[in-house]
Amino acid sequence: MEQERQERQIPRHVAIIMDGNGRWAKKRGLPRTMGHAQGARVVEQILEDAKDMGIRYLTVYAFSTENWSRPAAEVKALMNLLRTYMKTSLAKCAKNNVCIRVIGDKSKLDEDLQASIAELEKETADNDGTGFQIAINYGGRDELVRAARRLAAAAAEGTLRPGEISEQSISDALDTAGIPDPDLLIRTCGELRISNFMIWQSAYTEYYFTETAWPDFTRAELERAVEAYQRRERRYGGLVQ
Ligand code: IPE
Ligand code: IPE
Ligand code: MG
């Protein structure tokens, strides 16, 4: 399977900035929260499609550290959607062998949500199928700050010498420790920016931008992104012979 994936040049890790839920809803005269609800359904479908296509890791950006600045009612609706997701996805993950990890600062989330996340992570930890990362209260800079604190604490304790800090030790102190860097990053709905998503991990990631709003995203669109990825030449600063 691993060899076949490499031969077909299927990206091992795909990350998605799921953008455009609000615009999708507005265009239809619906409240923004309806866009988020539809977006959540699309996540479930795309997770299955990704697995089917041989993608080993899928990461989705669900809520950024900056999204707290939205109106309280929208934040509440998003948190409730995440609550529901954490409660209903356990059975599906068990069936599909999905291993879930939430990245981001979970300590700022409501306690009941933290508890359901912890349960879901624990129950799916041994699943060796698709690795599914959900970014909640996630910001790339915040993740680096928390990693720096962890490393500094180890240095202060005397278990780490500053000169030993390496790219690997920083990667290992991030929320994505143990997960390979994304090969392909997709952003939906037309904005050409990264909005504080996986800034360390995406140093050599290939980007794919589409005008499609997240609630309209389909497997066909994911396949187009993968095809575009397959046409890229990844050089990592070197030369291709
Ligand atoms: C993405 O859709 C979902 C989140 C950021 C939570 P948006 O809510 O950003 O939708 P637009 O960009 O306003 O259309
Ligand atoms: C990025 O989308 C965050 C998520 C998809 C969760 P935003 O809609 O928050 O980003 P900006 O405001 O357009 O940069
Ligand atoms: Mg947006």
CATH assignment of the domain containing 46: 3.40.1180.10
Flag whether 198 is in a domain: yes
Question: Using CA positions, which residue lies closest to atom 12 of ligand 2?
Answer: 195
Flag whether 69 is in a domain: yes
Number of domains in the chain: 1
Q: Are 229 and 11 in contact (CB under 8 A)?
A: yes
Provide the token pair at 31.
């409240």
Share of the chain above pLDDT 70, in %: 98
Average pLDDT over residues 83-89: 93
Provide the token pair at 148.
């720096």
pLDDT at site 1: 63
Flag whether 223 is in a domain: yes
Domain boundaries, position 212: 2-139+181-230
Flag whether 15 is in a domain: yes
Flag whether 176 is in a domain: no
The DSSP bridge pattern shows strands 131-138 and 13-17 to be unpaired
Which residues approach ligand 1 with their CB closer than 6 A?
A: 18-23, 63, 67, 78, 189
Question: Please, which residues have CB within 8 angstroms of residue 213's CB and are 6 or more apart in sequence?
Answer: 19, 20, 21, 23, 24, 35, 188, 189
Flag whether 75 is in a domain: yes
pLDDT at site 4: 67
The answer to whether the predicted template modeling score (pTM) of the entire model surpasses 0.85 is yes
Give the amino acid at 127. Answer: N
3-state secondary structure of 107: helix
Q: Name beta bridge partners: 102.
A: 134
Flag whether 165 is in a domain: no
Flag whether 147 is in a domain: no
Give the model confidence (pLDDT) of 111-158 as tens digits.
999 999 999 999 999 999 999 999 999 999 999 999 999 999 999 999
Query: How far is the centre of ligand 3, averaged over its atoms, from the C-alpha of 191 (Å)?
Result: 8
